[in-house]
Amino acid sequence: MGDTIIERKSDVKFLGITMDENLEWRPHIASLETKLSFSLYRLNRLKNIVPKYCLKLLYYSFFYSHMNYGVMHWGTTYQYIKHKICIYQNRAIRIIEHAPNRTNCQPLYVKNRILPLDEVVKLETLKLVYAHSVESLPPPVMNIFTANRQIHEHDTRQATGPHLNKLKYAIIVKSFLGQGPLLWSRLPNTLKLAKSKESFTRRVKRYLLENITL
């Protein structure tokens, strides 16, 4: 560009998230695995020292804070790429419950009201769509979705929701751009009518916990 040679890189770190040239998020997830492994080590060392409620607080401080960062983006990658993150989270929930290694984790997540990774991705994506539906996103970001009212003039409950477009590329279908409108269309209307983001988050989290499948 001009007199500057732009070096091609296979991955680049931007705002704490490492993006690779194929948007499969492998370098970011590899880095995340290291952080979560250390978090598990700390949880495991403390499980016989502190009570359960403290373990849950430590889980959200040590483990969840790392896992949740940018999850709406990297969490949409292929299951086999993020599989180890799911394994680490299962280990964390078993540590909190002092459960054996082969314990079925589904009831443990429900009991502790903790969402598994894939449900966290759904929640974060739906929070973005909700913010779009109530027009609380910054003006430039409001253009990421097309509201149904921009397509037709029918005054329906779905008017403020994002329009379900036919997307050509699989990488976009899997991203929040494709999954956001799809998840929103499947969400009960009673949840979409929440009066605040906080209320919406609580109600959707409860809904996702009730429908966990592992």
**Across residues 131-152, what is the average pLDDT?**
77
Residue 205 phi, psi (nearest 5)? -60, -45
**Tokens 């299962």, residue?**
90
Query: What share of the chain in percent tops pLDDT 70?
Result: 89
Contact 98, 108 (CB under 8 A): no
Question: How confident is the model over 24-72, as pLDDT tens digits?
Answer: 899 999 999 999 999 999 999 999 999 999 999 999 999 999 999 999 9
The pLDDT value recorded for residue 159 is: 52
DSSP state, residue 13: E
Query: At 20, is the secondary structure helix, strand, or coil?
Result: strand
Query: At 214, is the secondary structure helix, strand, or coil?
Result: coil
Would you place residue 173 in the very low, low, confident or very high pLDDT band (cuts 50, 70, 90)? confident
The pLDDT value recorded for residue 190 is: 92
The pLDDT value recorded for residue 150 is: 52
Would you place residue 148 in the very low, low, confident or very high pLDDT band (cuts 50, 70, 90)? low
| Mean model confidence pLDDT for the chain | 88
CA quadruple 149, 192, 116, 213: dihedral, nearest 10: -90
Rg of the chain (C-alpha set)? 19
pLDDT > 70? residue 165: no
The pLDDT value recorded for residue 69 is: 96
The pLDDT value recorded for residue 177 is: 85
* Lowest mean pLDDT, pick from 147-151, 163-167, 204-208: 147-151
The pLDDT value recorded for residue 85 is: 97
What are the sequence ranges of the domains in the chain?
Answer: 17-114, 121-210
What is this structure's pTM? 0.86
Contact 178, 172 (CB under 8 A): yes
The pLDDT value recorded for residue 171 is: 76
137 vs 98, higher pLDDT? 98
**Across residues 130-136, what is the average pLDDT?**
89
Query: At 156, is the secondary structure helix, strand, or coil?
Result: coil
Question: How confident is the model over 119-132, as pLDDT tens digits?
Answer: 999 999 999 999 98
